[in-house]
Amino acid sequence: MKKPCIEANLVPTLIPLLESTDQEMLLHAGRAIGRICYDNRDLQEQLVKVGVITSLVRILTDYAESEPLVHVDLLALCNLADLDTAKEALSKTKVAEQLVKQLRRAENHERLEMVFEILQALAENDALKVQLVEAGVQEVLSEILLRLQGSSQAEDTCIVKAASDLIVSLLLGDGNCVRMVQLGVIHQLLDLLEKHVESGDVSVQHAALSALRNLAIPVVNKVQMLEESLAERIQALLRSEMPPVQFKLLETLRMLADGQADAAEILGQDPMLLNRLVQWCNANDHSGVRGEAHRLLASILRHNRSQEVVKAIQEAQGVKHLVSMTTSKHTALQNEALDALAIASAIDLGDLRQEIEEDKIKETLEQLCSHSNANVVKEAVTTLQVLRGETPH
């Protein structure tokens, strides 16, 4: 029946009825339009063009308590939200506030899933992302995750996964990350992490850490995150025994230390963290965790060139791991390790002598001088010169 309805131009006739104040009329007009336009992209684009988005947001605002109308309205948004033109139109409305309100009101899985589907589509638009955070979506997500914490029901697990994915989507892109930090998202994420680290809900921990890692990329955020003691709070999560969480944790700390001497100093003088890093450097069963532990160790040295940090890493027996990192299959990792060793050698040669001889680092460096990668050769030569007391050229 769809085809004759479309050919008879029924849709343009129905659209003005969405301006009605009669709830029955709205309900039936909305259902009819939804069914005729379902799975028809051209018709959906036409609907957006003639301003249906404004009508849908108005209905959601004026009849937020009417279950049948809200259901029809959300279904319509669900069908249209993937269109770029619809996202553009929605970004000029107050849809974010209304969707957050509906997310808070949702009492069953079906409604939650529908709202999540719309939000996930809208989170692809930068303006809408910020509007959603300003409307407090992350607080509602945290509440939902805490409410379902520890549940083993399949339906609850789906919702937890959807909420976690949405948190990550909201935090992609530098511009938004800066705004999100200003809005105080970090502490909400950390609260969420701390509450879930015990229950072992890996998808939530992983999502929150992915979000934190994205937040730690812009330089302006690194400073604020340090001022808000992010490094200390993340370290409390080091007791996690889940490799995916450990991996993200290490990656987030490395992002935080990148180019930030203060962050690297905080991390480099924490014996608990350094001991954990050295343990992870030996984690043979998880190469990703092992690689990230090595990279964070090198990063701490490369970004904070103080004697105290070199000494702390030595005491934790981390130097031998930097030496083994110079023989990695990945040239980027080799360069990071050589750079860190050159810095450590220049700062603290006296104490390092014995360790260098024990770990046969000179032999390793001499071999690397004939490496196929020019950067590796350059770093190896520089480190050797430092060790021999020569001035690097």
Side-chain-side CA neighbours of 179 within 13 Å: the count stands at 16
Answer yes or no: are the C-beta atoms of 90 and 53 closer than 8 Å: yes
DSSP 379: H
Whether pTM > 0.75 for this model: the answer is no
Domains of the chain (ranges, CATH numbers): 240-392 (1.25.10.10)
Q: Tokens for 10? A: 């029924």
In terms of pLDDT, which residue wins out, 364 or 46?
46
Cβ atoms of residues 98 and 137 within 8 Å: no
DSSP states along 119-150: HHHHTTSHHHHHHHHHTTHHHHHHHHHHHTTT
Report pLDDT digits (tens) over 125-136: 989 988 998 898
Highest-scoring range by mean pLDDT, 88-92, 172-176, 209-213 = 88-92
Position 83 confidence tier, pLDDT thresholds 50, 70, 90: very high
| CB of 277 closer than 8 Å to CB of 318 | yes
- Beta carbons within 10 angstroms of residue 187's beta carbon: 12
Q: Is 358 buried (19+), middle (13-18) or exposed (0-12) by CB count in 10 A?
A: exposed
Q: Where are the alpha helices (H) located in 183-270, listed in sequence order? A: 185-199, 202-215, 219-227, 230-235, 243-257, 261-268
Contact 248, 255 (CB under 8 A): no
Residue 8 has pLDDT above 80, yes or no: yes
pLDDT digits (tens, 9 = 90+) for 159-180: 888 887 888 788 766 566 777 7
